[in-house]
Amino acid sequence: MIIHEKRHRPLPWKEQRTRSPHTALTPLLAIDWVWDWIAYALSHWKFLEVLEYLSSFSVLIAVILFFKEAPDRVKQKHYQAWQVINTAQGKGGSGGRIEALYELNRDGVPLIGVDVSHAFLQGVRLPKAMLERADFTAVDARDSNLAGSDLGDAELTYVNFRHAGLRDVNFRNADLSNADLNSADLSGSDLSGVTLDGADLRFVDLSAVRWKRIKSIHGTNVFGVKNAPPEFLVWAKQNGAIERERDDATP
């Protein structure tokens, strides 16, 4: 809100001059008196008042446009994130994909079918991500957090999920052949239809895991698995699983 203070007409110079007790201050008083007259004259110029209102109105328009264009800015940000992911497809290293994936998932964008094969994604945070049919072949995702995510039908061969948070993940029909899951948290996850041939499940937390429809577990190392259902180890060994403490150990 613009408040205009009414200005009084300045005193005549002769009267204004008598207000200075010292002659040395007269030049300064004269300058101030001139500016006082200029301010008085401009205060009666309505054009300046209109400009003030227009200035405030332009600020309001800028605020409205800022919020109106917010969806377009979000779309542009998502487009740039997808560019980063697609440009680096099939290449090693991160290439900015950790941040791009995080931003897309944070905004609720589905990552279905995303191809990040061979990428370095150590520590990536993608909780509750929609990653069905994603390609994580040979991805280094150690110490990552994908809790509650959907990785159904995903390609996860040779993925490195060491120490990863994979609680309540849907792995239905995913291929985890030769995956490194050492010390990962798989509690509550769904392994129905999953291929685990050659995978490393040492010290994995399997509490409340849905395992009875695992497709294949041949050559899978189940040494030291934690909180496994009582019948799991018996079934696993009967279907080709092994127990070796070290990679170079013999059966």
Which has more confidence, 123 or 66? 123
**Cα–Cα–Cα angle for 60, 64, 68, rounded to 5 degrees:** 170
Q: Which two tokens stand for residue 193?
A: 């239809």
Q: How big is the chain by its Cα radius of gyration, in Å?
A: 35
Q: Please tell me the distance from the alpha carbon of residue 52 to that of residue 50, in angstroms, as a whole number.
A: 5
Which has more confidence, 250 or 200? 200
Q: Please give the mean pLDDT across all residues of the chain.
A: 85
- The continuous run of DSSP H or E covering 118 comes out as none
Q: Please tell me the distance from the alpha carbon of residue 29 to that of residue 240, in angstroms, as a whole number.
A: 102
Place of tokens 């002769």: 14
Cα four-point dihedral sign 111, 117, 120, 123? positive
CB neighbour class for 224 (10 Å; exposed up to 12, middle 13-18, buried from 19):
middle
Report the chain's terminal Cα–Cα distance, integer Å.
83
The pTM of the full predicted model, rounded to 2 decimals, is 0.71
Q: What is the pLDDT of residues 32-69, one digit of tens each?
A: 666 676 666 656 555 556 656 666 666 666 666 656 65
Q: What is the pLDDT of residues 222-231, one digit of tens each?
A: 999 999 988 9
Do residues 156 and 175 lie in contact, with contact meaning Cβ atoms separated by under 8 Å? Answer: yes
Domains annotated on the chain, with CATH: 17-68 (no CATH), 90-244 (2.160.20)
Q: What is the pLDDT of residues 169-193, one digit of tens each?
A: 999 999 999 999 999 999 999 999 9
DSSP string, 76-144: HHHHHHHHHHHHTTT-SS-TTHHHHHHHHHHTT---TT-B-TT-B-TT-B-TT-B-TT-B-TT-B-TT-
Q: Which two tokens stand for residue 39?
A: 């301010």
Q: What is the mean pLDDT of residues 72-89?
A: 85
Sorting pLDDT into bands at 50, 70 and 90, what band is 89? confident
Cα four-point dihedral sign 57, 63, 64, 66? positive
Do residues 153 and 132 lie in contact, with contact meaning Cβ atoms separated by under 8 Å? Answer: yes
Q: What is the mean pLDDT of residues 123-150?
A: 97
Closest CA to 232 of 248, 244, 245, 205: 205
Q: Please tell me the distance from the alpha carbon of residue 199 to that of residue 162, in angstroms, as a whole number.
A: 11
| Percentage above 90 pLDDT, the chain | 61
Q: What pLDDT does residue 1 have?
A: 47
